[in-house]
């Protein structure tokens, strides 16, 4: 307890360098709206002395096909707090997050990852930094309410978390990828070499002291969602097969149970034959064969998923490739933060008058 108190007091006197990591894919409609909100929140924490004036907002362009990268370059030229990296091609949301984290792991004291669409409460960043100052190495942003989600979205999202936890993966319920990670935890996360990424399950495996910050989820400010049901299901399967072998054990249990039933069926058939009460049953035979054949195909499919994961892991292909970077420090520093505050106020007005329809996870 004494060590924790000393550590907390040391952090309270430390002005941390924060990097906000924001993955972007075809976000040319929403980026002009939310960039001002992000900058305003960072500048507010700078002025309150909670983070360093050298803190940055790092956009990670995940191979966008629209004008997203041009917007990121323009933002970097306008303000030195903006910077960006661009992947050589689209590799997925999780790979984009990892690319941003690894880009700053030797520079940042703390990092916060958040999506570009403005659905996650940007104001929760300050509470995350406060939790880090109190001693937490990892702070999870957890959605307290989903009032803006449709009934189907709420049901499918909660089923997603429950299914993954049921299959043995350790995740935080209703937490997506909005989290603070300290430099200490990030260095340990960098040692995880998986090609099949599911950061929601990998970060809890790092350990260290952690806590949660709760916030209400907003509607998307602009643009369209890039996480339809099919991608959510794919993310769930990746999470289960990357972090748990419970499905394989379930197959073993199913096979054992079917073997017991089959043995009982053999005994019944022998006894019936000896008693001379056998009756030819074409329909029952066909149903039994179809049932067993279906189970075998499902089991082969699950085994195939794991073998495919092994195949991808042993290749040891790079998980991300950076093709371009903005030149850090080329933008101007808004005088006394006035520019940032004006941008934030303007973007907040857009939030009140504009709402989209898509959301993630």
Question: Model confidence over 276-330: pLDDT tens digits?
Answer: 666 666 556 766 776 777 777 777 777 777 777 777 677 777 888 899 898 754 4
Report the chain's terminal Cα–Cα distance, integer Å.
Answer: 37
- Pick the more confident residue, 87 or 303: 87
Phi, psi dihedral angles at 325 (to 5 degrees)? -135, 145
* Conformation bin of residue 336: beta by default, left when phi > 0, alpha when psi is -120 to 50: left
Torsion of CA 294, 234, 302, 244, to 10 degrees: -140
From 6-10, 81-85, 288-292, the region with the lowest mean pLDDT: 6-10
CATH for the stretch 2-243+318-353: 3.90.550.10
Instruction: State whether residue 121 is helix, strand or coil.
Output: coil
* HSE-up of residue 47 (Cα within 13 Å, Cβ side): 13
Mean residue pLDDT of the chain comes to 77
Quote the pLDDT of residue 227: 59
What CA–CA distance (Å, rounded) separates 350 from 4? 43
Band (pLDDT 50/70/90 cuts) for residue 10 is very low
Q: What is the pLDDT of residue 28?
A: 87
- The CA distances from residue 355 to 94, 117, 127, 346, in Å, are 26, 11, 25, 15
- What is the DSSP code (8-state) at residue 86? E
């Amino acid at each position: 307890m004494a060590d924790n108190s000393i550590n907390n007091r040391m952090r309270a006197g430390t002005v941390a360098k924060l990097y906000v990591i924001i993955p972007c894919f075809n976000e040319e409609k929403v980026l002009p709206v939310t960039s001002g909100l992000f900058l305003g929140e960072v500048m507010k924490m700078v002025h309150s002395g909670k983070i360093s004036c050298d803190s940055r907002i790092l956009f990670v362009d995940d191979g966008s096909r629209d004008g997203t990268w041009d917007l990121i370059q323009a933002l970097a030229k306008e303000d030195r707090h903006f910077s960006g990296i661009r992947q050589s091609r689209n590799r997925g949301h999780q790979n984009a997050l990892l690319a941003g984290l690894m880009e700053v792991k030797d520079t940042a004291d703390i990092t916060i990852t958040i999506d570009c669409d403005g659905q996650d409460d940007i104001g929760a960043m300050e509470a995350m930094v406060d939790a880090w100052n109190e001693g937490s190495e990892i702070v999870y942003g957890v959605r307290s309410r989903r009032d803006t989600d449709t009934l189907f979205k709420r049901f499918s999202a909660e089923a997603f978390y429950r299914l993954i936890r049921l299959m043995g993966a350790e995740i935080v319920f209703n937490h997506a990828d909005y989290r603070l990670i300290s430099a200490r935890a990030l260095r340990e996360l960098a040692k995880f070499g998986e090609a099949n990424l599911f950061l929601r399950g990998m970060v809890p495996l790092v350990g260290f002291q952690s806590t949660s910050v709760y916030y209400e989820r907003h509607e998307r400010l602009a643009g369209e969602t890039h996480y339809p049901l099919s991608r959510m299901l794919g993310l769930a399967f990746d999470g289960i097969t990357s972090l748990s072998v419970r499905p394989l054990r379930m197959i073993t249990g199913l096979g054992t149970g079917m073997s017991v039933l089959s043995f009982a069926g053999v005994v019944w058939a022998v006894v019936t034959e000896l008693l001379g009460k056998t009756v030819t049953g074409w329909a029952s035979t066909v149903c039994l064969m179809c049932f067993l054949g279906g189970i075998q195909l499902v089991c082969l499919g699950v085994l195939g998923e794991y073998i495919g994961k092994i195949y991808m892991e042993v290749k040891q292909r790079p998980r991300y490739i950076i093709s371009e970077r903005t030149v850090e420090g080329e933008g101007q520093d808004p005088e006394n933060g006035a520019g940032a505050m004006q941008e934030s106020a303007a973007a907040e007005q857009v939030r009140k008058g504009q709402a989209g329809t898509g959301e993630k996870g």
